[in-house]
Structure 1
Amino acid sequence: MPATVLTARALLLDMDGTLVNSDAVVERCWRRWALRNGLDPEAALKVVHGRQGYATMAVLLPDRPMEQNHADNRVMLAEETADTAGVVPIGGADVFMEAIAALPHALVTSADRALAQVRMTAAGLRMPELQVTAESVGASKPDPEGFLKGAAGLGFEPADCIVFEDSEAGIAAGRAAGMRVVGVGPRAAALSPDAHVEDLTQIRVEAAADGSVLLHISAR
């Protein structure tokens, strides 16, 4: 089967589940939080991916004051930043990141700056020069603010950008920003992204003569 080819001017990359597999840490920390708050950990894990922690807490405990969610989120971020056991790169992430090094791209993550640096370092991945982290936005994914800021920071229109995402909240944010989405991994498979890959080994990057980015996506 021939490869699918997508063309963009810039790439906007989620981190967790897209470049870095941090599921082990996320699940450890959120299981503890769920048990502390009398919630079913398995049910909680179904909604934690993609959002900032306070936003996940608001979904799970809708009647709780938001200031308590923000306080808990600070504790959660400290726990996650201190725990790197099992943090590894998504398949092909190292080659992919090197392939796009000279092309317009940005990290757009729900992690804060410290957590993003710790996880990218633990996974042995190069950190993009432009980073849109939790401190950069007023609203969490699925709000499109982060992706729109990433596009603006790179100097491109939303329609010129392709988002790489793994979660429901992240894919919804990319669509709301008016961008095409490449879904990465099992969580993305059922969410009808514009293209889907199991990991980043299925993508070959080519720089076109006009400066655009060609993504050759192979079937598996």
Structure 2
Amino acid sequence: MEAMKGAIFDLDGVLVDTAKYHYLAWKKLADQLGIDFTEADNEQLKGVSRVRSLEILLELGGIEKDELEQSRLRELKNNWYLAFIKDMTEKELLAGAKEYLLQLREEGVKISLGSASKNAISILKSLNIYELFDEIIDGTKVANAKPDPEVFLKAAEGLGLKPNECVVFEDAQAGVQAGKSAGMYVVGIGTKENLPEADEVVAGLYQLVKS
């Protein structure tokens, strides 16, 4: 952490809790398909792509759909999700998130987003933190979902830094694995029990803000 030149943040569960909106949208789709989908089931979708998330949902229901129908269902879910988040404001930032970003900028650390979300830019603008990022790598810029390290390697490249000069901030196991595979130090947001492979774990970014 002391040698950190670049900080790469996941979005959902690290900077803002959009997971609840994803859950509501997936739940709405599951209900329409007659699939029993719980918050516990939703844990399997954290940190993975929309394509894989739908595959998991269909697997839970024992349902098969062709690619054309899957594409339609993904679009349907995303439209519901966008409707849920359109009124999001800075008040929905997780505790300490903006303060920590401002602290890093003051310390000269470069900041990137490294998220599977394809709606990341609109969310960052809604939260009034878009201008704090030097680079944004989201789901529109990568071919491989976490735990593949592509998103974090592209973020480091975009910041002009080596992987070992960057620290990843992640709340999902797939993201932690991606960060480690990229050769980066990983700070888990959550509990050590849920993120055993992280180099260190904090409950939230607020714990890293200097008083």
Match of 2:173 in 1: 168
Tell me: CA distance 1:38–1:131, structure 2 relative to 1, closer, same or farther (3 Å): same
Look up the SS of the partner of 1:134 in the other structure.
coil
1:98 deviates by 1.1
CA RMSD of aligned residues (A): 2.4
* Corresponding position: 1:49 with 2:69: no
Using the alignment, how far apart are the partners of 1:50 and 1:66 within structure 2? 22
Q: Mapping of 1:1-220 within 5 angstroms?
A: 6-42=2-38, 43-61=40-58, 64-84=65-85, 88-101=92-105, 102-112=108-118, 115-127=119-131, 128-186=133-191, 189-192=193-196, 193-204=198-209
Using the alignment, how far apart are the partners of 2:146 and 2:128 within structure 1? 25
Using the alignment, how far apart are the partners of 1:116 and 1:54 within structure 2? 17
Using the alignment, how far apart are the partners of 1:153 and 1:38 within structure 2? 43
Of Structure 1 and Structure 2, the greater helix share is in: 2
Give the TM-score normalised by structure 1. Answer: 0.80
Tell me: CA distance 1:98–1:44, structure 2 relative to 1, closer, same or farther (3 Å): same
Tell me: CA distance 1:93–1:189, structure 2 relative to 1, closer, same or farther (3 Å): farther
Task: Provide structure 2 residue ranges, at least 5 long, that are not aligned to the other structure.
Answer: none
Tell me: CA distance 1:74–1:194, structure 2 relative to 1, closer, same or farther (3 Å): same
Contact 2:114 2:155 in 1 (8 A): yes
1:86 deviates by 6.6
Tell me: CA distance 1:12–1:89, structure 2 relative to 1, closer, same or farther (3 Å): same
Give the TM-score normalised by structure 2. Answer: 0.83
- Give the percent of matched residue pairs that are identical in Structure 1 and Structure 2: 27
Using the alignment, how far apart are the partners of 1:6 and 1:40 within structure 2? 46
**Which stretch shifts more, 147-156 or 123-132?**
123-132
Using the alignment, how far apart are the partners of 1:199 and 1:69 within structure 2? 35
**Which stretch shifts more, 17-26 or 65-74?**
65-74
Tell me: CA distance 1:37–1:202, structure 2 relative to 1, closer, same or farther (3 Å): same
Using the alignment, how far apart are the partners of 2:164 and 2:73 within structure 1? 36
Contact 2:4 2:167 in 1 (8 A): yes
Runs of 4+ in 1 over 6 A off after TM superposition: none
1:33 deviates by 1.7
1:204 deviates by 3.7
Task: Provide structure 1 residue ranges, at least 5 long, that are not aligned to the other structure.
Answer: 206-217
1:156 deviates by 1.7
Using the alignment, how far apart are the partners of 1:25 and 1:174 within structure 2? 25
Of Structure 1 and Structure 2, the greater strand share is in: 1
Contact 1:34 1:44 in 2 (8 A): no
Contact 1:10 1:103 in 2 (8 A): yes
Match of 1:213 in 2: none
Q: Deviations over 1:189-212 (max 9, x none)?
A: 52121111111111147xxxxxxx
